[in-house]
Structure 1
Amino acid sequence: MGRSRYKIYEEHYPYFITSGVVDSIALFKDPELVQLILDGLIFLQKKRGVEINAYVILENHFHLIAKGENLGKHIKNFKSFMAHQVIEVLKKKKDLLSLNKLRQAKRDHKTESQYQVWDEGFHPKQLFTYEMVAQKLDYIHFNPVKRGYVDQPSHWRYSSVRDYEGETGLIPITIFNG
């Protein structure tokens, strides 16, 4: 799984996953780039059998609670595909500032690309108990509040919190029932 020292061993448990944009570049201020991530999450669910229980997308990272067979491989491939898609959108928009930042942030050992979008790895944390899942659900859903972006979790549109409040979110998820 590349250079990451983080691994997924027991696939029947859900995992809390964090992945950040290299150098904390705020790519996901652009709704078009956020939509790429949302579409990618839908693909993971429909085509790769990944169960997504919660998510939040912020300006420079995302968090998920997910589980499934080959989850590590699927997340790695998701990030790789999303990186290519992000670069293509930035080129189409002629966003030279963002492209230059991603070019400068590229690690020397990354010889297959001119750019680097993601930090290496994706930091999965296995959630063994319902209490651990509940804590991470709160963390995910209150993250935009804690950062001062909104006053209520449901005011942040790029999150699964609305699903947990009985409303319809932007993408389908599997509500975690414990």
Structure 2
Amino acid sequence: MSTKYKFRKQEQLYFISFSVINWIDLFIRTEYKQIMLESWKYCQQNKGLEIYAWCIMTSHIHMIIGSEEEKLENIMRDMKKHTSLALKAAIKQHPSESRREWMLWMMERAGKKNSQNIDFQLWQQDNHPIELYDNRILNQKLDYIHNNPVIAGFVEKPEDYLNYLYSSARDYSGMPGLVDVILVSPVVL
């Protein structure tokens, strides 16, 4: 087991990324993104998850998180387990999901190949937590999260992405966001 990517210091903030297996573009539907938001809200209220920044891309998610209550690895494990089941059910039930059979087949195939699963896998196995041990790293990851849609070519300028509901860039620009976010003050270097 790798020791490189671990939540080592519970009191620190971490940048995490987690993606759908095979980078499937799952989060093109509002219903699927809403499942993530509801899960985060539950974790905030019941597990002590602190969200400092986030962005839902089509196939993956970036976040800056912390917790003074439950261990981050436990929160992430539970959140990924819950959303995996909820997203699987939503895919099966979505009336116009043209990719349903293909996505479920890919996720069942991935689950059967992974000894840690029984028969289904939605998320890639790890979160790649990176400890944000100084302001330089924190600023870099905050910028990365909020500029990721620009780099991906979804929008031309970062400010265009503020109209996108599924990012904390809105919170950092003074607009209301969809999830409670603890703002960190970026330090000008």
Cα pair 2:18 2:123 within 8 Å, conserved: yes
Matched, 1:172 2:171: no
Structure 2: distance between partners of 1:93 and 1:114: 21
Q: TM-score, normalised by structure 1?
A: 0.91
Aligned-pair CA distance for 1:177: 3.1
Instruction: Give 2:169's aligned residue.
Output: 161
Query: What is the aligned counterpart of 2:111 among 98, 106, 110?
Result: 106
Instruction: Give 1:52's aligned residue.
Output: 51
Instruction: Give 1:82's aligned residue.
Output: 83
Structure 2: distance between partners of 1:105 and 1:123: 19
Aligned-pair CA distance for 1:17: 0.4
CA RMSD, aligned part only? 1.7
Question: What aligned pairs does 1:89-168 form with structure 2 within 5 A after superposition?
Answer: 89-93=90-94, 95-110=100-115, 112-151=117-156, 152-168=160-176
Give identity over the alignment, percent.
Answer: 31
Aligned-pair CA distance for 1:30: 1.3
- Tell me whether 146-155 or 103-112 shows the greater mean CA deviation: 103-112
Q: TM-score, normalised by structure 2?
A: 0.86
Structure 1: distance between partners of 2:89 and 2:80: 14
Q: Which runs of 5+ in 2 are unaligned?
A: none
